[in-house]
Amino acid sequence: MEKLIEKAKVLQEALPYIRDFHGKVFVVKYGGSAMTKEHLRESFAKDVVLLKYVGINVVIVHGGGPQISMTLERFGIKPKFVGGMRKTDEETMHVVEMVLSGDVNKDIVALINQHSGDKVYAVGISGRDGRLLMAKKLDKEKYFRELGLPVPDEDVGYVGEVVDVNGELIVSLIERNFIPVIAPVGVGEGGEAYNVNADVAAAEIAKALRAEKLIFLTDTEGVKDGKGRLISSLSGEEAKRLIEKGVIREGMIPKVRSALKAMEAGVRKVHIIDGRVQHSLLLEVFTESGIGTEIVG
């Protein structure tokens, strides 16, 4: 009986959050171990369906770097990186789009639909569909300088930055009770495809939708201080200072910078959480303490 009572208390703790977030939009960047380990994939899919059934509109933007590298190697193409960024020539871009918009995207859609019943469905789209993610070639110099890194001489190829988001397309899907699952492939003015960083794509989509939350699922606990301790909550100004001091560094910088830009555009909160923890999405959203780092205005 005590275990049942504890379960009831957990549900009761979630009630005010369910009430507050009903009808709101959460943009979730899905990647890392949560995408590759079967038990985490299953729990993520179930969590997304649960959120939708309690009235929260979830939009998923996924990555797929490891899958892209494996496919390139299978085709005899050696993956190349410039300053930590995938060099995307025409041949590589073809594989990137095939993997992200094809294999990975449809696999996520199928998994969610497996658990969704007959009233909620996931639908997979690419940033090229309906000109969802308009993009242009990345300004390499600006990008690396903002990260405080030396600008590489080598061209990065078809790596893009988002210049516009067709939010109406996503809203129309949400209004018809779909869960949009978006592959971060952008489209240029000439119809060319661009490889867009999934963190950046998620932030741009959250901005366009003025989402209640932008949530990054990562392979780390969250943002840590100089002593390696998890920071459960920090303001935008504190985040900027931690970047300047070099406490926030490497792959966490693009996430935090994207988070700050999203908040400046109206996104209320950004969460960076550990996707290696089962049900991390629910634990962060429906509990008072949460499990990762929240960035607030």
| Bridge partners, residue 270, by sequence | 214, 295
Q: Which CATH class is domain 12-296?
A: alpha beta
What pLDDT score was predicted for residue 37?
87
Q: What is the structure's pLDDT at 244?
A: 84
Beta bridge partners of 218: 274
pLDDT tens-digit readout, 21-30? 999 999 999 9
> What single-letter amino acid sits at 124?
G
Q: What is the pLDDT of residue 1?
A: 65
Helices within the chain (DSSP H only):
2-21, 33-36, 38-53, 65-74, 90-97, 105-115, 140-146, 167-175, 198-209, 236-244, 252-264, 280-286
Residues 6+ apart with CB under 8 A from 202: 27, 28, 29, 61, 184, 214, 216, 258
- pLDDT for 196 equals 96
The CA distance from 23 to 37, in Å, is 30
Share of the chain above pLDDT 90, in %: 62
pLDDT in tens, 58-100: 999 999 999 999 999 999 999 999 878 899 999 999 999 999 9
User: What phi, psi does 147 have (nearest 5°)?
Assistant: -85, -5
pLDDT of 4 reads 66
The total number of residues shown for the chain amounts to 297
* Whole-number pLDDT of residue 212: 95
Which tokens sit at 250?
């490497």
pLDDT at res. 255:
85
Per-residue pLDDT of the chain (297 residues; tens, 9 = 90+): 666 667 677 777 888 888 999 999 999 999 888 888 889 999 999 999 999 999 999 999 999 999 999 999 999 999 999 878 899 999 999 999 999 999 999 999 999 999 987 788 999 999 999 999 999 999 999 888 877 778 888 999 999 999 999 999 999 999 999 999 999 999 999 999 999 999 999 999 999 999 999 999 988 888 998 888 999 999 888 998 898 888 988 778 888 888 898 898 889 999 999 999 999 999 888 887 778 899 987
Give residue limits of the domains in the chain.
12-296
The rounded distance, in Å, linking the Cα atoms of 63 and 60 is 10
